[in-house]
Amino acid sequence: MTFHPAWGEEVCKTVVDIIREHAEKQGITGAVRITPVDIREGRDLTHMWRGFHWDAVLETFDRCARTGADLLAIESIGGKEVHDDALMYCNLRHAIWALSVLGCRDMQKLWTAIVEIAEKTGSVASGDTACGFANTAMVLADRNYIPKVFAAVIRVASAVRSLVAYECGAKGPHKDCGYEGVYVKAITGTPIATEGRVAACAHLSPVGNVASCLCDLWSNESIQNIKLLGGPAPTVGFEQLEFDCRLMNKASETGNAALLRDLNADSDSLYDPQAYVLRPDVVLDISREIVKVEGWYPRMRAAANLALSHIRQGKVMLENQGVKVYDLGVDVSEDVIIEAVGDYGADLLCLSALLTTTMIQQKVVLDALRSSKLRDRVRVMIGGSPVSQGFGEYIGADFYAKDAFRAAETVRTLLNQPVKRF
């Protein structure tokens, strides 16, 4: 509808009329958030900041705001083409450049214009999301196309880009599919809308519970109007949403909000680094450091490094259970690994590979263990994005973990079991 702003205005007016009708008849207060599609792409694009596509986006905002939309939001795409390429090759430097140099500059231009429209029409410029960037990475990682750690780093880095809207005058609430909104809230105090487990009807994600930890508005997603046993799918979705909101409100009323928050965080954060970097304690630690850095590019580099640092600290969860962890780092030769196994008297050796071109090195290490007569003294767990249990069987590993967080959860159990190879 952004290609035809008048159509968008008509749809918006219909929704506004329905909301107002329910407010009058049922006493249910509502607000309309309009999110035009960012159409600034394709071969016929003149320029991101001028021409038909730019004008159509702003005209859609203006028309919808004048017809009654309360909140103005968008999932903008400045820098997305470069970022998509960076995701395909897991190139963190290119991803940060796309998000900061291209993305942040485009955000500044676009959100300056959106804020001006909001001020003229009496609407509220609410915020942007990194849906086309961080959510794309999250979905690709969940399908094992890219490493989950890489996707989690992109999530934290994308917060710097989303913050630009608020630097330009946006006031929130941050849009629900932007899971990086927790960083926006921690830094600016802006209210955020989030979606999680009740959005599973539209998309799956590894952050169904942790997404609710800091939300001000709990949301679901677009729901296809199909018939289910319980009734129409939108009705079923709203019922799930209602029960969740009842639980959250009751927790707040009874002084148990912090307990519910922590349970939601702990139930997700051990299973995926994406969820781990959205934990409230991790968010606050990283946010404190992000604000100390000036400039979009330096700030985003700092955010990425902080995310990696906190993810590496996942080993603390093992140490707190009495397990001593020796982190040998990345790109370590088999000779160094064999020497460390012998020197430390290791009970378990964990090997991770992030690319298909490097996973064969796990077999090299296992062969070296056999040659050095250490294989029977240590158990070996393998993991990483391209690795599978079948590969573990092929190279003769003892255990396989889908990702580092599942490995951390199961190591204690494994160390108390007798060796049982595939």
- In this prediction, residues 248-257 reach a mean pLDDT of 96
Q: Categorize the per-residue pLDDT at 422 as very low, low, confident or very high, splitting at 50, 70 and 90.
A: very low
Q: Is the pTM of this model over 0.95?
A: no
- Give CA separation, 280 vs 8, 178, 182, in Å: 37, 16, 8
Q: How many CA atoms lie within 13 A of 29 on its CB side?
A: 1
- In this prediction, residues 77-92 reach a mean pLDDT of 95
In terms of Cβ atoms closer than 10 Å to its own Cβ (0-12, 13-18, 19+), residue 153 is: buried
What CATH architecture does domain 321-415 belong to? 3-Layer(aba) Sandwich (3.40)
pLDDT on residue 354:
74
* Annotated domain spans of the chain: 70-313, 321-415
pLDDT on residue 271:
79
Query: What is the radius of gyration, based on Cα positions, of the chain?
Result: 24
Q: Percent of the chain at pLDDT above 90?
A: 72
How far is Cα 400 from Cα 381, in angstroms, rounded to an integer?
5
- DSSP one-letter string for 30-74: ---EE-------STT--BTTBSHHHHHHHHHHHHHHHTT--EEEE
- DSSP one-letter string for 182-248: HHHHHHH---BEEE-GGGTTT---S-TTGGGTT-SEEE-------EETTEEHHHHHHHHHHHHHHHH
Token digits for 291?
């604000």
pLDDT on residue 243:
95
How far is Cα 26 from Cα 260, in angstroms, rounded to an integer?
31
pLDDT tens-digit series, residues 208-221: 999 999 999 998 87
pLDDT tens-digit series, residues 380-392: 999 887 889 999 9
How far is Cα 41 from Cα 77, in angstroms, rounded to an integer?
8
pLDDT at 26 over 50: yes
The DSSP bridge pattern shows strands 193-195 and 217-219 to be parallel
